[in-house]
Each structure stands twice: as C-alpha cells, then as structure tokens.
Amino acid sequence: MRIDIHTHAFHNKIADKAVHHLVDHYGINPVGTGKADDLIERLDRAGLDKAVVLAAATSPRQVVPANNWAIELKKTAPRFIPFGTLHPGYDRNGEELERLAANGIQGLKFHPDFQGFRMDDPAFYDLMELVDERFICMFHVGDDLPPDQNPSCPKKMAALRKTFPKPIMIAAHMGGLKQWEYAIEHLAGLDVYVDCSSVMDFVNDDLLKRLVEAFTPDRILFGSDYPLYDADKEIQRISRRLNMSEARLDAFLSRAGKLFG
C-alpha cells in the first residue's frame, strides 16, 4: 500500500483560511486548495493508495472540533488515514484519547510552533504520559529560529523519544525543517522515523544524501506536505535526485503502510 504520510485537508468551510495561514507562515505558494477532493485527485495522479491527513489544534478549544473532522474523515473518506490532535492546555486529553481510539483513529499530530508550546514544556510531557503505543505520533520539527529558541527542534525531539519509548514517532521534514545538521547530530540512530515533506526545495544533493545515510532508507517515509506541494512532483524529484530504481521507489512509497498493520 503506497501512502503519503504527510498531508493536510480541511473542511470546505475553512480550507481557504487554513491554506492562507500556511502561506503566511511558510511563504510558499501552495499547489492545492486544501480540500479533500483535490487531494484525492493528486493521490490518483501520483499512484498512491492513501494519505495520512494531519491537523493540529492551535488552542485548547480547537481540540474537539479538529478531532470531529478527523472522525468524520475516518467514516466517510476511505482513501484517508486521519490523525487526531491534542493540546497541553486542554483539560480532558485522556477522555479525548479514548474517543479517538473508539473511532478508529490511529495517530496524533503535534505542531509545537503552531500550537504555542515548547516541545520540552513539562505540560507537554504530562500530555505524552497519556499516550501509549495505540497511537502513532507525528511531530513537526524545526523552523527558522535557532534550535535552542525554536519551540521544536531535533534535540528536543530526541529527548522526547528517549523519555517516551512506546509510541511510534515520526519527526517530520527529515527530522528538522532547516535544522538538518542538528537533526543528523541528535536524531540519527534513534528509534525515530522521518518524512521527506517540505525538504526538496531547501537541501542540495550532498545534504540530501547525507540525510539518507544518517537515517537509513528504512526509516525514511514519503510525505508531500500537501497542499504546499504535489505528491506526484515530489515523488519525481526525490526519486531522480537519489537515482531510485523502480523497486527502491516502490519500497519507499510503501514503507509507511507497515506502520498501520
């Protein structure tokens, strides 16, 4: 099963606003509308079976509505694997985890930079105490600030992995957006998966090859970061730059399927 492990799709009522927020933060012109039907069309063109759809509640009051959307997608959109979300400031995270599990949600997305907490915040560690191996955890890691100042960074991600060994953990953007030397230093060799989303525009061939060597191919998952990027074009870019054979490419695109059983 070929999977895009890193996409975002929003309810039609808020899709335009959500996409504009991404543009304002990252300064990237998106290729997509952020709507479910557009994402499905792109999966078809890329020859992908499913997409993990991610959302992160930017405030405690958004936890339940965001998870309602994930549960709706789970029931109505078989091409999607929706992840839920929690927030350190929400006072019923334990109940929300049970609700997500009861509705077949298999993963959680955390984006400290958007959600307004540091990855090493004691309140976030308290939240992570509630999460067990039932859930795959995807973390946004890295950004423009120096690592010690950024809410998320590879060093904080490494500490989190060592403290909480049970859940499968994925560090997005090859372990740290624009912090790749730091990612190699702190995350290589740990029990952490990474994805290639929002990476191709920012790394040269030498750094890309060093990242692959550091994390090893069996720990690297395909992710497009739709609606910022298109899956088919991202597949073409990374396969060309790494000179992938058809067999290697198929293994790469299918690797995430093993995480879901």
Query: Exposed e or buried b for every residue in 46-68, given b needs 16+ CB within 10 A?
Result: bebbbbbbbbbbbebebbeebbe
**C-alpha angle with apex 187: 4 to 135, nearest 5 degrees?**
50
SS3 109: strand
Name the percent of the chain lying above pLDDT 90.
89
C-alpha 66/C-alpha 134 separation (Å) is 19
46-62: average pLDDT: 96
143-182 confidence digits (pLDDT tens): 989 999 999 999 999 999 999 999 999 999 999 999 999 9
Q: What is the CATH number of the domain that holds 231?
A: 3.20.20.140
SS3 165: coil
C-alpha 117/C-alpha 147 separation (Å) is 14
pLDDT at 235 over 80: yes
- Domain range enclosing 170: 3-260
SS3 197: coil
For the chain, the domain total comes to 1
pLDDT at 29 over 90: no
70-93: average pLDDT: 97
pLDDT at 16 over 80: no
pLDDT at 18 over 90: no
Share the mean pLDDT of the chain: 95
**Predicted local confidence at residue 30, as pLDDT:** 87
**Predicted local confidence at residue 13, as pLDDT:** 79
Residue positions counted in the chain: 261
